[in-house]
Structure 1
Amino acid sequence: MPHTPQHGTVVWNELNSHDVEAAKGFYGRLMGWDFAPMPMGDDTYWIIRKGGADIGGVFPMSGPEFDRIPPHWMTYAAVDDVDASTKEAKAAGGEVLKGPFDVPGVGRIAVVKDAEGAVMGWISPKM
């Protein structure tokens, strides 16, 4: 039986990329990673695999809403309740950049900026 990650545990790392094929080539060569496709609407999300284990993902930043966002790595931490946690973040001086939303089969996610400006993804995983 899968376990639910403990609140505050880092659970996923994701490369957000404008050129997914170049990123896959770079990391595949230098890190020995394999990539498994996961359909995502009109696009494809790529699961990063190493030694048969899922260790992260590559998100394609396609579309005009991503034009001004540079490629970057996003870390995700598990939280017990994304909705409650984002309210607490605001009260503590943070900002919710992308409000809670559901990813079917994955969980409920939000992107939060802390009081200093650092950005992190929060997820209530659906196990």
Structure 2
Amino acid sequence: MTTVQGSWLWYDLMSPDPEGSKAFYDTVLGWTMTTGHGESTDYGFITAADGAMVGGLLRLTSDMTDHGARPCWVGYVGVDDVDASLAAITAAGGTMLMPPRDVPMAGRIAMVADC
């Protein structure tokens, strides 16, 4: 069985202007970005120039920014056990920004900061 421990798995761009972000990255890097999919107009996908699916594009709402969210890139690092890793991170002084949750077709995730 392959381990994902420590591997970069996915990237999200959090933007209040996904259409502007799409125009920039599609042109500059040759990526293909969608600003929504299916029933969600708040989350799209990023495909690299070689066709590999590499990330997502999250529309930051005013509610999110009112609660401290800012435009940024977020990287997802794979771990073998999200809950155990979260406990180790917080014990070492890290901060939980979003508690663990299960994401269909993606697995279990949490958002943390190292400060």
Give TM class, smaller chain.
Answer: 0.7 to 0.9
The answer to which of 75-84 and 56-65 deviates more is 56-65
Contact 1:5 1:11 in 2 (8 A): no
Contact 1:101 1:110 in 2 (8 A): yes
Q: CA 1:95/1:84 → structure 2, altered by over 3 Å: closer, same or farther? A: same
Q: Aligned partners of 2:55, 2:93: CA distance in 1, in Å?
A: 29
Matched, 1:95 2:83: no
* Equivalent runs, 1:22-101 vs 2, <5 Å: 22-36=20-34, 37-39=36-38, 42-50=40-48, 51-67=50-66, 68-101=68-101
SS at match of 2:20: helix
- CA RMSD between the two structures: 1.9
Using the TM superposition, give the Cα deviation of residue 53 of structure 1 relative to its aligned residue in structure 2, in angstroms.
1.2
SS at match of 2:99: strand
Using the TM superposition, give the Cα deviation of residue 35 of structure 1 relative to its aligned residue in structure 2, in angstroms.
2.1
Q: Aligned partners of 2:3, 2:43: CA distance in 1, in Å?
A: 22
Q: Aligned partners of 1:29, 1:86: CA distance in 2, in Å?
A: 38
Using the TM superposition, give the Cα deviation of residue 69 of structure 1 relative to its aligned residue in structure 2, in angstroms.
2.2
Using the TM superposition, give the Cα deviation of residue 42 of structure 1 relative to its aligned residue in structure 2, in angstroms.
4.6
Normalising by structure 1, what TM-score?
A: 0.78
CA offset digits 1:66-121 (Å, max 9, x no partner): 3342210001100111111111111111111111011111111111111xx2xxxx
* Bigger fraction of residues in strand: 1
Contact 1:94 1:113 in 2 (8 A): yes
Counterpart AA for 1:23:
S
Residue segments in structure 1 that go unaligned for 5+ positions in a row: 118-127
Contact 1:48 1:56 in 2 (8 A): yes
Q: Aligned partners of 1:33, 1:17: CA distance in 2, in Å?
A: 16
Q: Aligned partners of 1:9, 1:53: CA distance in 2, in Å?
A: 16
SS at match of 1:87: helix
